[in-house]
Amino acid sequence: MADLEEKEQSKVKCNQIASKKVKIRKTSKLPRGFKLSGIKANIKYKNRFDLALIYSKVPATGAGVWTKNSMQAACILYNKATIKNKIHAVMINSGYANACTSIQGDKNCILCAKSLGDGLLVPSESILLASTGVIGEQLPMERILKGIPKLIHNRNNAKDSIKQASKAIMTTDTYPKTYGVKFWLESADILENLSNNKNPKPQDTKNENITTKTHKDSLQENTRDDTESSKDSQKEKVVKSKKDSQKINARIWGMAKGSGMIHPNMATMLGFILTDVAITQNLLQEALSEIVQQSFNQISVDGDTSTNDMVIILANGKAGNKEITQKNKDYETFRDSLKLVCVNLAKKIARDGEGATHLLEVVVKNAKTLEQAQRLSKAVIGSNLVKTAIFGKDANWGRIICAMGYSEAEFDSKKLDLYFESKKGKIKIVHDGIGLKFNENKARTILGADKVRIVINLNDGIQNAKAWGCDLSYGYIKINADYRS
């Protein structure tokens, strides 16, 4: 039965999931060792957060997934050449995309990384960059460079810093998009970990005489964070199961931006995922690539794919788990937790589509293969005719069948069942490939809900897939007609 068996996870109070007997809970806390900041640098508009920093106290392992648009922004090319280094920080600006900016755009990336690295006292090769906004214009470097000292000074793990950073990466978004979870991993090194954290020592400050006051303040903040992390270790980091085995608490947290130019294979979408799990670069990349395919690559707003799309994940190992080096139980727990974060961020992006009035979810069930299910769901979610029908609350199921037909995914139309669902009810529209007589008023009421689900049961296998998008309204045209003004 294709009822609403998977309730919106973000609305479940405790937001607990049992993933192979491992509980995953929602949390607003950053993973250990990370700090954020966001400032108003007046990059394109005045009095608007537009420059953000992600900082890891210790070098982090990085992985990334990048836009498939052949016209790639300077920051994409820079990050591709940098991502396999150990990473200390990511700087993100909104307002200008630094795309189609030729050699000067590349030089600006190098200058941004050097200036931030100098301020943080870390190598410039440990800096990643991201930009979003208008294509074809150079970054206002004077304003960005002027803002870097404040960006560094303001970095923190407090709620205000998280809010300001998530606002600073927005363009036409109407609200910040963040999501985090905590979970438990096995850890053979737990006793040693406890011993190392029992009496935290202040960070070595022998070089303080060559730092500015800003950096002294930062060192003091780092020391306080060590103490807070130690308290976390005593209260939350380690738990003892009934079987007397030791487990360690870890976190994954992410923020994203995206509202328009959203289409499968990502779009004007930036995603930044942080975790304190210790994991090899190869497995981190494999997990990210797999989960992006099931989350961010399954959303569509308007069919456009941007020059600047990226999803970056940083793993700094501060949780204290034994490094994940193979696909064991810890890897599965990590992957499942990462999927929960990415899916929730993807759904928030889809719901915030430019001018959107409905969040649309397309579920393809009982397909022969996962690829078939994904291809069909993406075709339906990407159809502008389907989107406009949802906006008009019109149960025009022929548009759905049409989109499935041009998806190039083979399926047996004679086995197909189709439903519309929402919190206002459920109605079956097609059975065994044949349209049914249905109550138009009831269908209109169902399609009037904020969140609408189209369920397509192929009755031909066991594979399932979901895609997310929104309706296409008059508001989308207005926003994009005025974008550069």
Q: Taking a C-beta distance cutoff of 8 angstroms, is the pair 474, 355 a contact? A: yes
357 annotated as a binding-site residue: no
Tokens (6 digits) for 180: 């985090």
Q: What are phi and psi of 331, to 5 degrees?
A: -65, -45
Q: Where are the beta strands (DSSP E) in 194-300?
A: 238-240, 246-257, 270-275, 299-300
DSSP string for 331-375: HHHHHHHHHHHHHHHHHHHHHT-TT---EEEEEEEEESSHHHHHH
C-alpha to C-alpha distance for 450 and 187, rounded to whole angstroms: 43
Tokens (6 digits) for 283: 């497995």
Relative orientation angle of helices 213-232 and 141-153, to the nearest 10 degrees: 50
Tokens (6 digits) for 85: 């280094």
C-alpha to C-alpha distance for 263 and 68, rounded to whole angstroms: 11
354 annotated as a binding-site residue: yes
Given the residues 61, 178, 268, 305, select the one marked as catalytic: 268
480 annotated as a binding-site residue: yes
171 annotated as a binding-site residue: yes
Can 268 be counted among the known catalytic residues? yes
473 annotated as a binding-site residue: no
C-alpha to C-alpha distance for 10 and 180, rounded to whole angstroms: 10
C-alpha to C-alpha distance for 123 and 129, rounded to whole angstroms: 14
Active site positions, annotated: 268
- Residues contributing to the annotated binding site for substrate: 171, 257, 268, 354, 480, 485
- Residues contributing to the annotated binding site: 171, 257, 268, 354, 480, 485
